[in-house]
Amino acid sequence: MTFGVRMAPDSNPGKWSKPQRRFFKRGAGTNFRKIQSIKFLLTRDRTAVVKFLAAKYPFEFSRRQRFRLLKDLINITNNMRGYHTLAEILTVCDRIFRRGDRKDIVVVEAGSGSGSSTAKLSLATQIVGGRLLVYDSFRGIPKNDEQHELLDGRSLQFIRGAFKGRITAVKKRVNEYGAPEVCTYTKGLFQDTLIDFDEAVDVLLVDVDLISSTQTCIEQIVPHLKPQGVVFSQDGHLRATVDLFENDRFWREKLKIEPPQIPGLGTEKFLELIF
């Protein structure tokens, strides 16, 4: 069972869930975590890392600086609980770096959890001289009665308070591992805090689990995307997210835009929405 979710009683652990009983410590700061990072670097995340090291960006970004960033990202993974892979966060960083010749780059993160993705995005944002706007309740998943289904048919619920990272704790971790000077934090429910959202956005990362939360973030922020702005969702493993993104009327009638292209929709957890 994944931390913070309640699976149906007959569900087997699978692609998106981990067994609960463990015989030795595996969490942040353990040697197990460090070994896992090396393993993933050489296997699961290798292609993304190679692409990042070879990529051409519209600003001076030396090999040495890239290795330094990779080291910092892995250090964060080793020391903080996070809910993304290195490949996923590197893909978001890549889209930030591709815009590295622009002025006032604005990156938005909706759903910060314990602050692992926030610390990583802050480092990438700092490299391009941009700003990172972080939105979260900082109290975890809000009260909800949503019943979810994974793409393989298993059901789950997101428990109130799951993934909680208090704002003081998140700031402390970003101060220690990230680039605090680029971050602005807005605490509260998206339904309240995004209502007056009025920033031109280059890159948006939405990792919020609840469909009501995803819908609010998309509705409130996508109209403020800059031309060629890009959106990522970490919730493509949920049937409700797929249904929302597949719904042409949502895009055309609610947002009054053409539906984006979404490679991997219906199969992948990590999605890029291309407008």
Ligand X SMILES: C[S@@+](CC[C@H](N)C(=O)[O-])C[C@H]1O[C@@H](n2cnc3c(N)ncnc32)[C@H](O)[C@@H]1O
Name which of 17, 18, 270 is nearest 152 in CA terms: 17
Token pair for residue 114?
Answer: 């314990």
Q: Which is nearer to ligand X, 239 or 252 (CB)?
A: 239
Question: Which position's Cβ is nearest ligand X?
Answer: 113
CA–CA gap between residue 96 and residue 205 (Å, rounded) = 11
Q: Is 197 in the site for ligand X (CB under 6 A)?
A: no
Q: Residue 246, Cα to own-chain centre: how many angstroms?
A: 20
Q: Which is nearer to ligand X, 126 or 214 (CB)?
A: 214
Q: Is 207 in the site for ligand X (CB under 6 A)?
A: yes
Q: Is 151 in the site for ligand X (CB under 6 A)?
A: no
Kindly indicate which of the ranges 25-33, 133-141, 147-155, 172-180 contains the residues binding ligand X, using the contact rule CB under 6 A: 133-141
Binder of ligand X out of 82, 130, 180, 260 (CB under 6 A): 82
- The conformation of residue 181, written as its DSSP 8-state character, comes to G
∠ Cα 17 27 48 (to 5°): 65
Q: Is 52 in the site for ligand X (CB under 6 A)?
A: no
Q: Which is nearer to ligand X, 72 or 259 (CB)?
A: 72
Token pair for residue 45?
Answer: 């995340």
Binders of ligand X: how many residues, by CB under 6 A?
21
CA–CA gap between residue 82 and residue 115 (Å, rounded) = 7
Contact 262, 273 (CB under 8 A): yes
| Smallest separation, CB 13 to ligand X (Å) | 18
- The conformation of residue 261, written as its DSSP 8-state character, comes to B
Binder of ligand X out of 189, 244, 255, 265 (CB under 6 A): 189
Q: Is 178 in the site for ligand X (CB under 6 A)?
A: no
| End-to-end CA separation in angstroms for the chain | 35
Q: Is 203 in the site for ligand X (CB under 6 A)?
A: no
Contact 141, 161 (CB under 8 A): yes
Kindly indicate which of the ranges 77-85, 175-183, 225-233, 241-249 contains the residues binding ligand X, using the contact rule CB under 6 A: 77-85
Helix (H) or strand (E) holding 134: strand 131-136
Q: Is 271 in the site for ligand X (CB under 6 A)?
A: no
Residues that bind ligand X (CB under 6 A): 82-84, 111-113, 116-117, 136-137, 140-142, 163, 189-190, 207-210, 213
